Amino acid sequence: MGKPTSESRKRKNSSTSSDGFSPANLKPAKATVKSLRPATKKNKINLPNVDNSMTEGSEYSLETIMQEIKLNRLTMDNIKNEIVKSVEDQLLKLQLEIQNLKDENITLKNLLEGRSEIERRLQSELEDAKGIAAVATKRVNDLEQWTRRSSIRIYGIADKEPTEDFNDSINLAIKVFKSIGIEIQPHHIDIAHRLGKFQHKKPGHHCEISLP
């Protein structure tokens, strides 16, 4: 095959298709490469680290964890039950103490009511006793006044001895009556005594005698 001549090259370069398309008009396509942005926190996708080759040891560990969780739940339930029981026991104890205090309060209240009744009764009896005492005092006073109807007071007999007894007073009274011309015997006098405290040789101190 011979070399192409300049004329054939010219024909080749000037050859066009029937629709006006020429290979010379072809431009190479511009290659475009879409760059991938680096992963950030916003668009980062966390894929689970799945180990398809899970071993028997890892399965045992998961089972152990589940058992520990169940055991912890059981332990927490036991602790909760113990706390509830302790609180209930303390509450029951407090309720019993409160009931005992209520019973004691009722007992004391009854005692106070009984004591108040006793005090009212004693007060009434005391008022009655005061009335009886007033009546008795009046009667005694009347009786004293009645017995004094036969009493004679003698004035002007001076005290000589602080140990003067009723016999001495009787003898002094007999002398006084004799001095005025009245004869009287000791058996005519029931009792004779000085009035007031002893006053040595003080004139005017009197003696009272009671005649039958």
pLDDT, tens digit, 9 for 90 and up, residues 155-204: 777 777 677 787 888 888 888 888 888 888 888 887 787 777 766 655 54
- In this structure, the answer to whether residues 78 and 124 fall within a common structural domain is yes
The Cα–Cα gap between 196 and 158 comes to 12
The Cα–Cα gap between 7 and 45 comes to 66
What's residue 34's pLDDT? 47
Q: What angle do CA 100, 101, 107 make, to 5 degrees?
A: 90
Tell me whether residue 70 is in a domain: yes
What's residue 14's pLDDT? 45
What's residue 205's pLDDT? 52
Give residues with Cβ within 8 angstroms of 174, minimum separation 6. 184, 185, 186, 189
Q: Is 153 within 8 Å of 206 (Cβ atoms)?
A: yes
- In this structure, the answer to whether residues 206 and 175 fall within a common structural domain is yes
Could you report the per-residue pLDDT of 21-79, keeping only the tens digit for each? Answer: 444 444 544 444 444 454 454 444 444 444 444 444 455 688 888 888 888 888 888 88
Tell me whether residue 186 is in a domain: yes
Could you report the per-residue pLDDT of 110-137, keeping only the tens digit for each? Answer: 888 888 888 889 999 999 999 999 999 9
What's residue 199's pLDDT? 65
Tell me whether residue 132 is in a domain: yes
Q: Is 192 within 8 Å of 208 (Cβ atoms)?
A: yes
**pLDDT grade for 207, boundaries at 50, 70 and 90:** low
How are beta strands 191-194 and 151-154 bridged, if at all? unpaired
Tell me whether residue 36 is in a domain: no
- In this structure, the answer to whether residues 134 and 171 fall within a common structural domain is no
- In this structure, the answer to whether residues 166 and 109 fall within a common structural domain is no
- In this structure, the answer to whether residues 176 and 136 fall within a common structural domain is no
- In this structure, the answer to whether residues 85 and 159 fall within a common structural domain is no
Q: How far is CA 147 from the centre of its chain?
A: 69
If you write DSSP's letter for every residue of the chain in order, what string do you get?
Answer: -PPPPHHHHHHHHH---TTS--GGG--PPPP---PPPPP-TTT--PPP---SS--HHHHHHHHHHHHHHHHHHHHHHHHHHHHHHHHHHHHHHHHHHHHHHHHHHHHHHHHHHHHHHHHHHHHHHHHHHHHHHHHHHHHHHHHHHHHGGGEEEE----B--TT--HHHHHHHHHHHHHHTT----GGG-SEEEE-SS--BT-TT--EEEE--
Total count of domains within the chain: 2
**pLDDT grade for 20, boundaries at 50, 70 and 90:** very low
Tell me whether residue 32 is in a domain: no
The domain in which residue 96 lies consists of 62-151
**pLDDT grade for 10, boundaries at 50, 70 and 90:** very low
Tell me whether residue 9 is in a domain: no
Q: Is 176 within 8 Å of 208 (Cβ atoms)?
A: no
Average pLDDT over residues 126-155: 86
Tell me whether residue 7 is in a domain: no
